[in-house]
Amino acid sequence: MIDHLITHKTKAVFFALWLIVSLSFSLKSQTIQIDSTFSTNCEIFPFGSGGIVYGLSINGTVNLYSDSSLVRIVLIDNLFNELLVYEAYQYISPESPFEITNECDETCYSNGFVPYSIQIQVTDASIEIFSLDLRSSLVPDGLALQQQAKQAMELQKVAYINNDIALHKMLWFADTNSVSQLSYQQKKNLFGDNYNMLGMDYYVGGIYDPTPNIVREILSSRLIPEWDWRDRHGANKQDKVNYYYDGDPNGSGWLTSIKNQNNHPGCTGLCYIYGPLGAIEGLANLYFNHHVDFNLSEQNVLECDNWDGANPPYETDCKGSSNSITNNYVRNNGVVDQVCYPDTNHSNVCHENPFPNGSPQYRIKIEGSSYLNSSETEDIKNALINKGPLICSLSNYSNNQSHSMVLIGYGTCTLNDTLYKAPYDTGYIVIDENSSYLGAMYWKYKNSWGVGNGDEGYMYHLDNQSNGHPEYVTYYKTPLDDILSNDDTVSYFDKDRDGYYNWGIGSVRPQGCPNTKLDSHDSEPRLGPFDENYFSLPVAPVIVVKHGSNTIHQNGVYSFYNPLLEDEQQEVLTFTILNIGTAQLNLIPSNLGDCFFEQL
């Protein structure tokens, strides 16, 4: 199964590279014997006062005891740079126990470093380290060889993950991407200390499941089985250009573009800004009921949220914080556009007088925010449908540190659903009648790790109370206000002309809107308001036919008789037909004579 996931060319490169690594370490290395077993986190100092080395590898035996097990070995040099030597967890490892030889993820080749210590991270696992091999001489083109070796290791990890996915008939795809290819230090900055992403950093599509071996409880629900704020009223469909299509071929619909929280050098953990602003940007489109597509400045919140300069240490919010910090700032002060306050290095100074790039185009405030006082799935669904995109957290991946994302929808695994991802040999996964996932519910998230990660920046995560269930769910209160504008008009439309109006979101009709129920799908004239479970109610087609001042009623028959009409004479009847939907008019000739119909 692994063989077909790596091309023959890649396999040749992979084995050749690791043969080079093995021979190099055996011929030009010194060995430090460790001969110790480790089952908890610790740091060891085996290097003494040695000098510069040009590579390091590890040999030993690993035991993983559960699906959440982790072993990670990190080299720390005398400048306190951190380099990954080896890591193992469920998805990227062979059956436990297993032996490792000359493993050197980021440390195979180097232009030289002075080793300081070895950091050992262990969760529900153990590793017996036999020895460390140190390369004692510089290898020509070492950095290029290190890059190739790292690439080969990444492909090996992807092969292991996809093999495990196939073995357990899971519903997601793994591949290298912009996040998986980050260095260990960059991943640590993104995920936190002692992270174990359980393969999520390699996720590129499908419905992610971190725990394939559990017995899933399929919960019944009275609510509509699928919801996605991207596709409401056909906003992400190119054939709906006359309705609400946003013009984005990637299908963002009512949401705004995917951003990358790693665009702030020196800062980590900025999901507490990116998540809330992503939700507010989408909510603004829905609230104003047209594509205002605000691009709000994360840098504005980062530098001006009243943490910096208030109480030391000033850099606190540059290393992560709470969603409430962002929510309170937007409520109290408003946040400006990205153009006038672009991303840059964090300076601990609020640049609003003047702004870096001229005056802002807009400054958006929210009425407020509120935690949802329930973690029940049905309550979260209800809030999502009625309040718009929500902000929530996922935990249990980064050593119980939370990651904030925008909750945009949910779905249900149904028979014959096809999950597609282009680069793969088969290209798709189909949910068949034997799938253990049939009927399972999953959540749809908008992430802030860039478009190169996940499914074009989005993630679909199987609902699981321990991994993947939304936590700390927060909704935003309307109205939204651009405090630099006098026009905060909420638009309303009946674009499909079915008699029901769409005013975006909420139960309160905007001023001037006709007294109708909210249209559930304003690009489908046969679909009207919601029922109590948010299914669309069908709308009977409407057609009005008149002959002069006479109206022909629905399902009615209109008869005409002129006693003065003689043989061979003709009478022209003119009907006015108003068909605002997709009704059908049947013209039935009389059996008393020939009738001819012509559309004018």
pLDDT in tens, 299-316: 999 989 865 444 444 445
Q: Which residues of 576-585 are buried (b: 16+ CB within 10 A; e: fewer)?
A: eeeeeeebee
Domain closes at, from 538, 559, 591: 538
Same domain? For 596 and 519 the reply is no
Whether the predicted pLDDT of 26 surpasses 70: no
Same domain? For 323 and 357 the reply is yes
Same domain? For 10 and 148 the reply is yes
Whether the predicted pLDDT of 78 surpasses 80: yes
Residue 275: partners with Cβ closer than 8 Å, 6 or more residues away: 323, 326, 391, 404, 405, 406, 448
In this structure, which amino acid lies at residue 202? Y
**212 within some domain:** no
Determine the pLDDT at residue 419: 86
- Edge to edge, the sheet with strand 82-89 lists 42-44, 115-123, 70-77, 82-89
Work out the mean pLDDT of the chain and round it to a whole number. 86
User: Which pLDDT tens digit goes with each residue over 496-553?
Assistant: 989 999 999 988 899 999 999 999 999 999 999 999 999 999 987 767 788 788 887 7
Same domain? For 263 and 134 the reply is no
Same domain? For 552 and 514 the reply is no
Lowest mean pLDDT of 18-32, 244-258, 543-557, name the range: 18-32
In this structure, which amino acid lies at residue 72? R
Domain closes at, from 370, 387, 414: 370
Q: How crowded is residue 4: how many other Cβ atoms within 10 Å of its Cβ?
A: 13
Whether the predicted pLDDT of 592 surpasses 80: no
Of the candidates 405, 393, 418, 417, the residue with the CA atom closest to the CA atom of residue 454: 405
**486 within some domain:** no
User: CATH number, domain at 76?
Assistant: 2.60.120
Same domain? For 550 and 534 the reply is no
Whether the predicted pLDDT of 319 surpasses 90: no
Same domain? For 46 and 109 the reply is yes
**235 within some domain:** no
- Whole-angstrom Cα distance, residue 387 to residue 440? 24
Structure tokens at 425: 């040999």
Same domain? For 103 and 37 the reply is yes
Host domain of residue 322: 249-370
Whether the predicted pLDDT of 223 surpasses 60: yes
Determine the pLDDT at residue 560: 73
**395 within some domain:** no
Segment 17-46 shows an average pLDDT of: 75
Band (pLDDT 50/70/90 cuts) for residue 581 is low
Determine the pLDDT at residue 2: 29
Band (pLDDT 50/70/90 cuts) for residue 14 is very low
Segment 89-110 shows an average pLDDT of: 93
Residue 522: partners with Cβ closer than 8 Å, 6 or more residues away: 233, 243, 244, 493, 494, 495, 496, 500, 501, 502
Same domain? For 595 and 567 the reply is yes
Band (pLDDT 50/70/90 cuts) for residue 133 is very high
Whether the predicted pLDDT of 583 surpasses 90: no
**352 within some domain:** yes
Structure tokens at 69: 């097990």
Segment 392-419 shows an average pLDDT of: 86
User: Which pLDDT tens digit goes with each residue over 262-295?
Assistant: 888 778 889 999 999 999 999 999 999 999 999 9
Q: Which residues of 392-420 are buried (b: 16+ CB within 10 A; e: fewer)?
A: bbbbbbbeebbbbbbbbbbbbbeeebebe
Domain closes at, from 339, 370, 401: 370
Determine the pLDDT at residue 587: 63
Segment 327-349 shows an average pLDDT of: 91
Query: Tokens 């408003």 sit at which residue?
Result: 334
Segment 331-347 shows an average pLDDT of: 91
User: Which pLDDT tens digit goes with each residue over 408-425?
Assistant: 999 999 999 988 765 555
Burial classification of residue 156, based on how many CB atoms lie within 10 Å of its CB (0-12 exposed, 13-18 middle, 19 or more buried): middle
Determine the pLDDT at residue 564: 78
Q: What percent of the chain has pLDDT over 90?
A: 62
Segment 562-582 shows an average pLDDT of: 74
Three-class DSSP category at 127: strand
DSSP state of 460: E
H or E element at residue 397? strand 390-398
**591 within some domain:** yes
Same domain? For 130 and 268 the reply is no
Determine the pLDDT at residue 170: 92
Same domain? For 26 and 148 the reply is yes
Structure tokens at 166: 């196939």
Lowest mean pLDDT of 144-148, 245-249, 528-532, name the range: 245-249
- Helix orientation angle between 8-27 and 142-167, rounded to the nearest 10 degrees: 130
Structure tokens at 395: 């935990």
- Whole-angstrom Cα distance, residue 556 to residue 221? 42
User: CATH number, domain at 297?
Assistant: 3.90.70.10
In contact, 165 and 199? CB cutoff 8 Å: no
**385 within some domain:** no
In contact, 300 and 274? CB cutoff 8 Å: no
In contact, 82 and 76? CB cutoff 8 Å: yes
Determine the pLDDT at residue 397: 67
Determine the pLDDT at residue 312: 43
**Structural domain tally of the chain?**
4
In contact, 527 and 234? CB cutoff 8 Å: no
Lowest mean pLDDT of 260-269, 366-375, 485-494, name the range: 260-269
The DSSP code sequence of 165-198 is HHHTT-EEEE---TTTTS-HHHHHHHH-TT---T
Segment 374-394 shows an average pLDDT of: 95
Band (pLDDT 50/70/90 cuts) for residue 334 is very high
Segment 64-69 shows an average pLDDT of: 91
User: Which pLDDT tens digit goes with each residue over 171-181?
Assistant: 999 999 999 99
Ramachandran sector of residue 4 (left: φ over 0; alpha: ψ -120 to 50; beta: rest) = alpha
Of the candidates 90, 229, 224, the residue with the CA atom closest to the CA atom of residue 160: 90
User: Which pLDDT tens digit goes with each residue over 108-132?
Assistant: 999 999 999 999 999 999 999 999 9
Same domain? For 113 and 127 the reply is yes
**350 within some domain:** yes
- pTM for the model stands at 0.85
Determine the pLDDT at residue 248: 87
